[in-house]
Amino acid sequence: MPSVETLLAHLKDEATPLSIPRLHWLSDLSDEELTQVAQVWPTLSIARRRAIISHLVDIGEENMEVDFGRVFQMALSDPDPEVRAMAIDGLWYEDQDLQLMRRFFELFEKDPATEVRARAAIGLGRYFYNACIMEQIPLSAVRPAIEALRRAFYDPAEPLEVRRRALEALGNTLEPDLPRMIERAYADPDERMRASALFAMGRTGEAQWTQYVMEALRSPSPALRYEAAVAAGEIGIREAVPILERLIEEGDAEIREAAIWALGEIGGPRAREILSEIAQGKDEDLATLANEALGELELLEGAETFMPLMEIDLEAEEEEAEDWLEWWEREKLGLEELGEEEEEEEGGKEDRDRDRDRDHRRRRRYLS
């Protein structure tokens, strides 16, 4: 790899368009290299800094081998709010670094720019999920942020964008008043808030939202249909299958993708039939999506086959129950054997990466 000096000379030469291959050199910077980049960064124009961060976000989404995290974290302190907001987007995969979580919280609480605060709320939502649902970080670590986002949602003086992103983040929690917040948001006259309500409904995975989701699937709004399709998959709404089939035939590209994904999550004979037809069709992009969804459906049906084992006599030997649960986890993760603890953690990480990637891609279309 060429020296960082060569890269910096390219970045400073604003008369020359940015070279995407050269931007890859910003991956995995050492402490010394980061210091050099940080010294040059303020001398670049706003347009140049925006272009660099925008390209890095795009590259990071397409290539999981690169790591621009140190550049993005540096850019969180950029004087330009658009750069700060994009830097948060670039850190979409982070959900365990508590120091970074505290930085997101600080941005949510103190940043003067609405868009930065909204993106920080989205970033905090990943930590909420990891604490409240996955239980991989302490709930106490995220409790202050949860309370701050709750206050923001209920505060009518807060910008709409901040309030609705706070709700979406809180959808990853088990807060007692979350259903009330979702119902309030779905009744809001602003379509953007209703879209966020659907997002939060899906994150809960609760069947109580079925009626709302079914209604939104028939909405004339593409944004609401999109969020409803994803929510139908997350909740597992079987009666949504015929409507999802119609959305695949009539919807735009993003809605079709969401509907295909949802069919894989919902499962059942008709969903399998629809996905199999698409997988054998002439549209290669849709066929790829359908095959991925069929893979998810296989996992789902395997788990459902095993579910009766989850209802074993509670007085059965604890060791026997743990053996069955271990087997189910192995099937769920698609591993031949759990092996050592590091292998088990790696399997779980792949699942989280896949879910985070899906969530990030669905968010990209409707951030505005």
Q: Is the dihedral of CA 25, 358, 127, 133 positive or negative?
A: negative
Q: Do 144 and 68 share a domain, yes or no?
A: no
Q: Do 128 and 180 share a domain, yes or no?
A: yes
Domain final position from 155, 172, 204: 204
List the CATH number of the domain containing 292: 1.25.10.10
Q: Using CA atoms, how far apart are residues 126 and 142, in angstroms rounded to an integer?
A: 10
For residue 329, pLDDT over 80 is answered with no
Question: Whole domain around residue 156: which residue ranges?
Answer: 116-204
- Contact in structure between 131 and 146 (CB atoms under 8 Å): no
One DSSP character per residue, 48-93 reads: HHHHHHHHHHHHHHH-TT---HHHHHHHTT-SSHHHHHHHHHHTTT
Establish if 345 belongs to a structural domain.
no
Establish if 171 belongs to a structural domain.
yes
Q: Do 200 and 221 share a domain, yes or no?
A: no
- Dump pLDDT digits (tens) for 26-85: 999 999 999 999 999 999 999 999 999 999 999 999 998 999 999 999 999 999 999 999
For residue 351, pLDDT over 60 is answered with no
Q: Using CA atoms, how far apart are residues 252 and 256, in angstroms rounded to an integer?
A: 6
Share of the chain above pLDDT 90, in %: 77
Q: Do 191 and 226 share a domain, yes or no?
A: no
Q: Using CA atoms, how far apart are residues 93 and 355, in angstroms rounded to an integer?
A: 10
Instruction: Give me the chain's average pLDDT, please.
Output: 87
What pLDDT shows up at residue 312? 47
Q: Do 160 and 222 share a domain, yes or no?
A: no
For residue 115, pLDDT over 70 is answered with yes
What pLDDT shows up at residue 313? 47
What pLDDT shows up at residue 332? 47
Q: Do 26 and 85 share a domain, yes or no?
A: yes
What pLDDT shows up at residue 368? 40
Establish if 319 belongs to a structural domain.
no
Q: Do 273 and 300 share a domain, yes or no?
A: yes
For residue 319, pLDDT over 80 is answered with no
- Dump pLDDT digits (tens) for 178-236: 999 999 999 999 999 999 999 999 999 999 999 999 999 999 999 999 999 999 999 99
Token pair recorded at residue 62: 């397409």
Q: Using CA atoms, how far apart are residues 188 and 179, in angstroms rounded to an integer?
A: 14
Token pair recorded at residue 150: 């709750």
List the CATH number of the domain containing 122: 1.25.10
Q: Do 131 and 188 share a domain, yes or no?
A: yes
- Contact in structure between 351 and 333 (CB atoms under 8 Å): yes
Q: Do 180 and 248 share a domain, yes or no?
A: no
Q: Do 69 and 133 share a domain, yes or no?
A: no
What pLDDT shows up at residue 344? 47
- Dump pLDDT digits (tens) for 220-233: 999 999 999 999 99
Establish if 312 belongs to a structural domain.
no
Q: Using CA atoms, how far apart are residues 137 and 126, in angstroms rounded to an integer?
A: 11
For residue 250, pLDDT over 70 is answered with yes
Establish if 40 belongs to a structural domain.
yes
Q: What is the DSSP letter of 171?
A: T
pLDDT greater at residue 22 or residue 356: 22
Q: Do 223 and 165 share a domain, yes or no?
A: no
Which residue from 32, 27, 37 is spatially nearest to 63, judged by alpha carbons?
27
3-class SS shares of the chain: helix, strand, coil, % to 5: 75, 0, 25
What values do phi and psi take at 21, rounded to 5? -60, -40
Establish if 363 belongs to a structural domain.
no
Establish if 359 belongs to a structural domain.
no
Domain final position from 204, 238, 263: 204
Total structural domains within the chain: 3
Q: Do 220 and 200 share a domain, yes or no?
A: no
Establish if 343 belongs to a structural domain.
no
pTM of the model: 0.83
